Amino acid sequence: MTKNYKIKKVSSVIKDIINQEQLIDGINNIKVINSWKKIAGKNIISYTMNMKFINGNLYIKLKSAPLRNELNFNKQNLLNEINEDLKEKIVKKIIFN
């Protein structure tokens, strides 16, 4: 009763684990939120109540209506900056609440 095992590189095994869809969603969520924090800066983050990334949409809940309006005017630039920072087009839309 001998078993034949395939030898795989550790990096290959890690890629296989990470490429599972549930993990990809969680990892992308963390990457997008960290990118937003880096791009937005401390002042805007202090007015941010909640952030979540679902199906290509970044939802950002803000405490300040005037800030929300100002960010809505710059939405496309922010979207481009986030995707540039991530080096891939993960975020399709930013929605400020």
Distance CA 64, CA 66 (A): 6
Distance CA 35, CA 87 (A): 11
Domain ranges of the chain: 28-96
Distance CA 89, CA 85 (A): 10
What is the tens place of the pLDDT at every residue in 2-17?
A: 677 788 888 888 888 7
Distance CA 19, CA 73 (A): 35
**The pLDDT of residue 1:** 58
Name the least confident of 7-16, 65-74, 83-92: 7-16
Mean pLDDT score of the chain: 91
**pLDDT surpassing 70 at residue 70:** yes
